[in-house]
Amino acid sequence: MPRESVKAKKARVAEIVRRLHEMYPDATCALHWKTPWELLAATILSAQCTDEKVNEVTASLFRKYRGPKAFAAANPAELEQDIRPTGFFRNKTRSLMGAAQAVVERFGGQVPRTMEEMLTLPGVQRKTANVVLGTAYGVASGITVDTHVSRNAVRMGLTPSQATKAVNTDKIEQDLMALVPQDEWIFFGHAMILHGRRVCTARKAMCEECRLLDVCPRIGVD
């Protein structure tokens, strides 16, 4: 694909966003939650795990541990077994309990509402913070960049970063934030995740079925 000017790329992204609204008008986080803390906990558990599996686990987990105080006071060995199906359960237990303790001790039991404060919580990086801030509070502090968004941002020519195991998600997020209007950041992340799961998948990009085909260079697909 010929080198695009910034103006041309922004115009292409505007069309991509418009079509994503048509394709996924109700795009939102697939995790089940009732409070910002539950969303934070579920997002921590979702690392290297499907949302479906996390939702199965949290259905009983959130009945057993009701809020950050309960997680902070949990027996670590017991909590490990409760979340074991999500994988990496020892690390996730440390992150959950650490985040819960921080929320209780430093934020009065309320999940903070700023990126700066969110990043002080154990186990929380920009991806997790963006999910919670955008979904629970409607705060557009950035764009959620998971494996689907990373892969599709490269394929759509929205970032020069390479889709490797060492992919720099912070760099990809900055590239996307420079192209996508801020009032679309929250929706864009959710919609790109859905698109990556349903159409532009890792195993097979179903380009001929994609409504973005004519505005996508399909980098690395063929």
* Pair (42, 133) in one structural domain: yes
**Domain range for 80:** 36-137
Domain end (from 92, 109, 137) = 137
* Pair (47, 93) in one structural domain: yes
* Pair (123, 54) in one structural domain: yes
Answer whether residue 166 shows pLDDT above 70: no
Q: Is 146 a catalytic residue?
A: yes
CATH of the domain at 95: 1.10.340.30
* Pair (42, 132) in one structural domain: yes
pLDDT digits (tens, 9 = 90+) for 80-117: 999 999 999 999 999 999 999 999 999 999 999 999 99
Q: Which residue of the set 10, 51, 69, 146 is catalytic?
A: 146
Answer whether residue 220 shows pLDDT above 90: no
CATH of the domain at 202: 1.10.1670.10
Assess if residue 221 is contained within a domain.
Answer: no
* Pair (67, 101) in one structural domain: yes
In angstroms, the first-to-last Cα distance of the chain is: 13
* Pair (69, 162) in one structural domain: no
Total structural domains within the chain: 2
Q: Is 127 a catalytic residue?
A: yes
Answer whether residue 165 shows pLDDT above 60: no
* Pair (99, 133) in one structural domain: yes
pLDDT at 163 (0 to 100): 47
pLDDT at 164 (0 to 100): 47
pLDDT band at 181 (very low <50, low <70, confident <90, very high): very high
Q: Which residue of the set 51, 127, 170, 183 is catalytic?
A: 127
pLDDT band at 9 (very low <50, low <70, confident <90, very high): very high
* Pair (133, 74) in one structural domain: yes
